[in-house]
């Protein structure tokens, strides 16, 4: 059954409640997060860069965090440290993004999922809760389907169900190589799009941080979109037997995500008015609370 968390600012760009936690003293791009470690593990597509916090094998069930595309696990740094107070938390960069090696050919969601299973194997994680954001939500769903005994529950941030027309428009706009303009106008457009879907009081330094991570995909940046648009929640989500908490922030995928509520077999749909991009940083404690509540007793929320 769907519900929502009230918040001021009901349209993109309006001011939400005052950001709490790490965003109050936000870091400049390049600054490290205390309590965070970074390392590489071997995967089927090459080396996988992983951010981690906490100790494997100690505390509650581990949490695997999967980022959007293009982007990297850096979006989860503050959340990893917060979740590590009672569990091991990891955020890999998917192949071709962040500091992970790219695959030899455009990957599929299944390609990404195989790499994430290699990460779980490396840390000897037998059972995990999975948080996915946009493209990461699709990887999370695939993990739940191909490794049902290892995935305990899912927390999905957006799960768009597109019409054929919407999918064609999205693919034409995003699933293509970027055109580089000599005056840098392509960069200006991309930065403005990030600003558009961030709450008005989001520090520009946070948007710049995400902008920088999105550039790391280079000429392969659109590969994540190719994978995402070929994987349909309308087909896959009803097959997920694990409990799901589907979060629907007020971002660019809000409309298509509203159609996903009816597809949940076992779970809860939660609207987040006034929440949008950068929520993992500007609302770290609130996001962590939602995750902990769900993974501790997921069937109570069904």
Name the residue among 16, 5, 40, 230 with its Cα closest to residue 135: 230
pTM assigned to the model: 0.89
Please determine, for residue 42, whether its predicted confidence score (pLDDT) is greater than 90.
yes
**Separation of alpha carbons 235 and 79, rounded Å:** 30
Give DSSP secondary structure letters for 100-132: SPPPSS---HHHHHHHHHHHHHHTT-SSEEEEE
| Averaged pLDDT for residues 93-118 | 98
Which CATH number applies to 2-301: 3.40.50.1820, 3.40.50.300, 3.40.50.150, 3.40.50.1950?
3.40.50.1820
| Arithmetic mean of pLDDT over the chain | 90
| Averaged pLDDT for residues 240-258 | 96
Name the residue among 191, 185, 195, 231 with its Cα closest to residue 214: 191
Please determine, for residue 244, whether its predicted confidence score (pLDDT) is greater than 90.
yes
Residue 125 · residue 155 · CB < 8 Å: no
Domain boundaries, the chain: 2-301
More confident residue, 17 or 281: 281
| Averaged pLDDT for residues 151-163 | 98
More confident residue, 194 or 243: 243
Assign 87 to helix, strand or coil: strand
How would residue 181 be classed by pLDDT, with cut points 50, 70 and 90?
A: very high
- The neighbouring-strand residues paired with 38 are 51
Reduced DSSP (H G I as helix, E B as strand, rest coil) percent helix, strand, coil of the chain, to 5: 40, 20, 40
Q: In this predicted structure, what is the pLDDT of residue 13? A: 36
Please determine, for residue 102, whether its predicted confidence score (pLDDT) is greater than 80.
yes
Q: In this predicted structure, what is the pLDDT of residue 69? A: 94
Tokens of 127: 């059972």
How would residue 198 be classed by pLDDT, with cut points 50, 70 and 90?
A: confident
Contacts of 225 (CB under 8 A, 6+ apart): 69, 135, 170, 171, 174, 175
Name the residue among 160, 182, 178, 292 with its Cα closest to residue 232: 160
Please determine, for residue 44, whether its predicted confidence score (pLDDT) is greater than 70.
yes
- The neighbouring-strand residues paired with 81 are none
**Separation of alpha carbons 251 and 103, rounded Å:** 29
| Whether the bond into 79 is cis, omega within 30 of 0 | no
Q: What is the dihedral angle through the alpha carbons of 196, 200, 202, 207, rounded to the nearest 10 degrees?
A: 20
Q: In this predicted structure, what is the pLDDT of residue 26? A: 53
- The CA-atom distances, in angstroms, between 84 and each of 51, 55, 174, 294 are 12, 8, 35, 16
**Separation of alpha carbons 143 and 62, rounded Å:** 15
Q: In this predicted structure, what is the pLDDT of residue 197? A: 83
**Separation of alpha carbons 97 and 134, rounded Å:** 15
For the stretch 205-224, pLDDT in tens is 999 999 999 999 999 999 99
Please determine, for residue 22, whether its predicted confidence score (pLDDT) is greater than 90.
no
| 108-140 residues labelled b (16+ CB within 10 A) or e (exposed) | bbbbbbbbbbbbbebbebeebbbbbbbbbbbbb
Please determine, for residue 1, whether its predicted confidence score (pLDDT) is greater than 60.
no
Q: In this predicted structure, what is the pLDDT of residue 5? A: 60
How would residue 30 be classed by pLDDT, with cut points 50, 70 and 90?
A: very low
φ, ψ of residue 49 in degrees (nearest 5)? -85, 130
Please determine, for residue 34, whether its predicted confidence score (pLDDT) is greater than 90.
no
Please determine, for residue 282, whether its predicted confidence score (pLDDT) is greater than 50.
yes
| Averaged pLDDT for residues 12-27 | 38
Tokens of 270: 């939660």
Please determine, for residue 14, whether its predicted confidence score (pLDDT) is greater than 60.
no
Q: In this predicted structure, what is the pLDDT of residue 4? A: 60
How would residue 31 be classed by pLDDT, with cut points 50, 70 and 90?
A: low
């Amino acid at each position: 059954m769907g519900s929502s968390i009230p918040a001021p600012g009901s349209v993109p760009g309006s001011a939400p409640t005052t950001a709490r936690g790490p965003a109050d003293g936000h870091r400049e791009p390049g600054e490290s997060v205390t309590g965070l470690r970074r390392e590489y593990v071997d995967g089927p597509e090459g080396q996988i860069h992983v951010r981690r916090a906490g100790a494997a094998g100690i505390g509650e069930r581990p949490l695997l965090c999967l980022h959007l595309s293009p982007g990297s696990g850096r979006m989860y740094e503050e959340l990893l440290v917060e979740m590590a107070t009672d569990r091991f938390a990891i955020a890999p960069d998917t192949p071709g993004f962040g500091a992970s090696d790219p695959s030899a050919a455009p990957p599929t969601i299944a390609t990404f999922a195989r790499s994430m299973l290699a990460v779980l194997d490396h840390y000897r994680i037998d059972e995990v809760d999975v948080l996915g954001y946009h493209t990461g939500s699709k990887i999370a769903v695939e993990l739940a389907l191909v490794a049902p005994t290892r995935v305990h529950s899912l927390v999905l941030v957006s799960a768009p169900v597109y019409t054929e027309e919407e999918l064609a428009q999205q693919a034409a706009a995003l699933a293509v190589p970027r055109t580089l303009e000599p005056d840098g106008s392509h960069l200006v457009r991309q930065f403005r799009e990030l600003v558009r879907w961030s709450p008005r009081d989001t520090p520009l330094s946070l948007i710049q941080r995400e902008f920088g991570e999105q550039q790391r995909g280079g000429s392969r940046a659109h590969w994540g979109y190719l994978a995402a648009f070929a994987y349909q929640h309308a087909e896959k989500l009803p097959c997920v037997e694990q409990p799901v908490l589907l979060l629907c922030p007020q971002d660019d995928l809000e409309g298509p995500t509203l159609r996903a509520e009816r597809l949940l077999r076992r779970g809860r749909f939660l609207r987040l008015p006034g929440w949008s991009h950068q929520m993992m940083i500007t609302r770290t404690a609130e996001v962590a609370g939602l995750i902990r509540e769900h993974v501790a007793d997921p069937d109570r929320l069904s």
